Amino acid sequence: MKLNKLKRWFFVMVKNTGIICLMILVLTAGCASMSSADKTQRQERGINKLVIHTDKGKDTINKNIYGHFSEHLGRCIYDGLWVGEDSDIPNTRGIRNDVVEALRRIKIPVLRWPGGCFADEYHWKEGIGPRQQRPSMINTHWGMVKETNAFGTHEFLDLCEQLECEAYVAGNVGSGTVEEMQDWVEYMTSDADSEMANLRRFNGRDKPWRVKYFGVGNENWGCGGNMSPEYYADLYNRFQTYVRSYSGNRIVKIACGPGSENYPWMTTVMERSHRRMNAISLHHYVRGTGNWTKKGSATQFDEAEWFALMKNTLTINPLLKNNIEIMDRFDPRKRIGLFVDEWGTWWDTEPGTNPGFLYQQNTIRDAVSTGIFLNAFNNHCDRVKMANIAQTVNVLQAMILTKDEEMVLTPTYHVFEMYKVHHDAVMLPVELQCGDYQLGDEKIPSINVSASKDTSGKIHITLCNLDPTKSAELVCDLQGTRPSSIIGRALTAGAMNAHNTFDNPEAVQPDAFDKFDFEDDILTVTLPPKSVVLLGIK
């Protein structure tokens, strides 16, 4: 009997009869028919089994989990998104057409702006009115460069309209005033005959914008004012009072949550402010074995560095679980959303670039890390209602890199494109038993997964093989469904550091994938090493 057939038969027997001694017999027979190389590999890796409960989904994966973040930092806004109306680079009212089109292709649902750390030193009134009359400032967080304020509120909200996405504006608590924040919300969203609404009309925008999401500060435990959680929670309660819902714009108020494992911050802010918030943020950046001073190269690394990133990325699961447990204590009905509004990989800046600009390359390693993050958000979608990768263009784990009129889509972009099938679909519970990816004395699970069912009933499974050198065979039991067709796509590469450059922009791209078969109700998939795989099942 061929090995695949034998495994399927074995799985059906286990599933249908549960006769343990038969299992042992079959397993022994199976092992006898394997080549010794197969046998060693299976002994090393174990059998990978996945059960997908296709009829048991109840929570929806909010499409905002696939959100983005753009800060006045380096070349994200200027060059990346904004080139100005007089630029030779094709643009619409100063905003790059190529970047807008690329982001629309991944159905960007929401965009956070203007920071980040920049948000708590941004004074929005400097970024409205005729551009040549706007005062400039120094961007003290990011490279001490001149900020011209050419890109301000009107330009950002025009960008969101061009992208057809929701706007998420982060307000200034660190160095701003309550009045300034109140005025901003009124300026953007009020239809009244009021001072701020009339100022907006005077500046050329008659109708108010829809601004659904408003953040009250950013990282106020650090760059946003170095506050204690008690002090911030009191300030939050005060500032948010004046963040009003005008003219039918129901605003979602977001409190500043912790960075990574700062559980005391989450506990105190939830305890003091949970009645006054709609969401609370969480930030989580990952890297390899490096530290804040030497984070490691984005492209020059060995397998130990690959392993370290995979291991560190998997910390998102306990991190979500622990923060959610704290939230559950104060909000057992899960009214408040957890918004992971900054996440991603953070490497040393590319040699020869301004260290304050956080410009980094992006490889298949970043892509697999992205798949793991997004699977985690999907699997916790009863509480995680938004996530915003940092950042959209030319900064940190960017979707897009630009050089003058050229644009490169990164491997991370391709993962977002593949995963868009999960937007607003119902998350399907999964049970995964898999072998380890071992390096030296350390091991981590080799496979990572999430699944969903869309409104047409189509099931999508996204799988990552974390092991950069070994393929992984996975046997899936699709409980509650009888597929009539299955199609696949995969993102993988030959080298661990494969990436797209301006000279070779299509080195890492998704391809059609057919290394699976379905027989006797069992789906068997062979995941290539270092891959992100999407299966669509009807």
The reply to whether 218 sits near ligand AHR by the rule CB under 6 A is: yes
- 200 contact partners, CB below 8 Å, separation of at least 6: 187, 188, 208
Let me know if 303 is a catalytic residue. Answer: no
Interface pick for ligand AHR out of 30, 80, 116, 258 (rule CB under 6 A): 116
Options 16-24, 85-93, 114-122, 174-182: segment touching ligand AHR (CB under 6 A): 114-122
For 385, the enclosing helix (H) or strand (E) is: strand 384-390
CB of 265 to ligand AHR, least distance (A): 14
Torsion angles phi and psi, residue 389, rounded to 5: -70, 145
Options 110-118, 305-313, 405-413, 436-444: segment touching ligand AHR (CB under 6 A): 110-118
Output 167 or 475, the one with its CB closest to ligand AHR: 167
Q: What angle do CA 472, 411, 360 make, to 5 degrees?
A: 125
Interface pick for ligand AHR out of 76, 314, 396, 418 (rule CB under 6 A): 396
The reply to whether 71 sits near ligand AHR by the rule CB under 6 A is: yes
Binders of ligand AHR among residues 450 to 469 (CB under 6 A) are none
The reply to whether 77 sits near ligand AHR by the rule CB under 6 A is: no
Let me know if 179 is a catalytic residue. Answer: no
CB of 390 to ligand AHR, least distance (A): 4
Of the candidates 219, 305, 417, 473, the residue annotated as catalytic is: 219
Output 45 or 295, the one with its CB closest to ligand AHR: 295
* Angstrom distance (rounded) from CA 186 to CA 196: 6
Residue 395: DSSP 8-state:
S
* Angstrom distance (rounded) from CA 383 to CA 330: 13
**Is residue 516 within 8 Å of 350, Cβ to Cβ?**
no
CB of 112 to ligand AHR, least distance (A): 10
Output 176 or 529, the one with its CB closest to ligand AHR: 176
- 388 contact partners, CB below 8 Å, separation of at least 6: 67, 68, 69, 110, 111, 112, 168, 339, 340, 341, 342, 343
Options 109-117, 207-215, 325-333, 404-412: segment touching ligand AHR (CB under 6 A): 109-117
Look up residue 5 and give its two tokens: 């057939």
The reply to whether 115 sits near ligand AHR by the rule CB under 6 A is: yes
**Is residue 338 within 8 Å of 384, Cβ to Cβ?**
yes
Torsion angles phi and psi, residue 99, rounded to 5: -70, -40
With contacts defined by CB under 6 A, how many residues of the chain interact with ligand AHR?
10
CB of 287 to ligand AHR, least distance (A): 13
Nearest C-alpha neighbor of 73 from the set 398, 366, 341: 398
Structure-token match 């009134």, residue found: 125
Binding residues vs ligand AHR (CB under 6 A): 71, 115-117, 218-219, 342, 390-391, 396
Residue positions annotated with a catalytic role: 219, 342
